[in-house]
Amino acid sequence: MMALENIVIQQGAFRLEDINLHVPTGAYAVLMGKTGCGKTTLLELFCGLRKAASGNVILRGEDVTRLPPGARSIGYVPQDHVLFPRMTVAEQLGFAPKIQKWKKEDIRQRVAELSERLGIQHLLDRTPQFLSGGESQRVALGRALAVRPSILCLDEPLSALDEDTHDDLMNLLKSLQESEDLTLFHITHSRREADRLATQRIELTDGTLQSEETHHVD
């Protein structure tokens, strides 16, 4: 599960207060709201990339408010994917396991497994400048999932993709949620994405969160 308790955020003139949110384990939460309303701020709060003025961040039942990002076991896919420009796809996928000191053989196996799962085996030797938008998105997903986090945060992951690629990736996200046993927190402006993916829809309007569980039908 993921939760925010009594969060207050202050960034210059921008302020969010009394933010409470609960996303149950296994949910696909989709957060929507106008540009600049603070959606990315909330996502970064979960990832540990931003500090709240007060309040608590809870992940898997544990208060992680003071934990650094790397200690939160959370996958993060930022807007525009932000792949490491000088690393090959294989190096991007193996980056987190290498940092977390996995054995070389385990890293090799995980890279092979992920690349097959994401359909990017043929791209392993390429660097990001030779990838299309959809391919980059798959690599960013693989990089975030490499050390098997149980929570995945996605910041507008499907924007600027053509319709077919968009549909393929929505299907991939849904199947990854099941195969990797994930709880997802996904920011989007697309009602279509929310309708297709969400089991929990969250709206951030004028600093207030409204959450609604939906019954998703495939």
Partner 1 sequence: MILALLLSLTLRGVFRPGEMLGFLNSPPIRYALALSLGSSALTAVLSVVFAVPIGYFMSRFRFPGKAFIDALLDIPIVLPPMVVGLGLLLFFMTPIGKGIEEHVRVTNAIPSVVLAQLTVAAAFAVRMMRSVFERVDPRLEQVALTLGCSRGQAFFQVILPEVAPGMLAAWSLSWARAIGEFGPVLLFAGATRYRTEVLPSTIYLELAIGNLNGALAVSLLMVAVSFIVLMLIRAGGGMRGAMG
Q: Are 59 and 10 spatial neighbours (Cβ–Cβ below 8 Å)?
A: no
Give the count of residues interacting with partner 1 (CB under 8 A): 24
Q: Which stretch binds partner 1 (CB under 8 A): 28-36, 141-149, 180-188, 198-206?
A: 141-149
Q: Is 103 in the site for partner 1 (CB under 8 A)?
A: no
Q: Could you tell me if 58 and 108 are in contact, meaning their C-beta atoms sit under 8 angstroms apart?
A: no
14 binds partner 1 (CB under 8 A): no
Residue 201 near residue 23, CB atoms below 8 Å: no
In degrees and rounded to multiples of 5, residue 149 shows phi and psi of: -70, 155
Do the Cβ atoms of 121 and 45 come closer than 8 Å? no
Q: What residues between 42 and 61 interact with partner 1 by CB under 8 A?
A: 44, 47-49
Residue among 10, 25, 70, 113 that touches partner 1 (CB under 8 A): 70
Based on the shown chain and the rule CB under 8 A, indicate whether residue 76 belongs to the binding site for partner 1.
Answer: yes
Q: Considering only the stretches 69-77, 104-112, 128-136, 171-179, report the one whose residues sit in contact with partner 1 under the rule CB under 8 A.
A: 69-77
90 or 194, CB closer to partner 1? Answer: 90
Query: Is 82 a residue that touches partner 1 (CB under 8 A)?
Result: yes
Find, among 72, 61, 14, the residue nearest to 39 by Cα.
14
Separation of alpha carbons 158 and 209, rounded Å: 23
Nearest to 64 by CA among 40, 49, 43, 48: 48
Tokens 């993921």: give the residue.
2
Among 39, 110, 138, 143, binds partner 1 (CB under 8 A): 143
Where on the chain is the footprint of partner 1 (CB under 8 A)?
44, 47-49, 68-70, 72, 74-76, 78, 82, 84-86, 95-96, 99-100, 143-144, 146-147
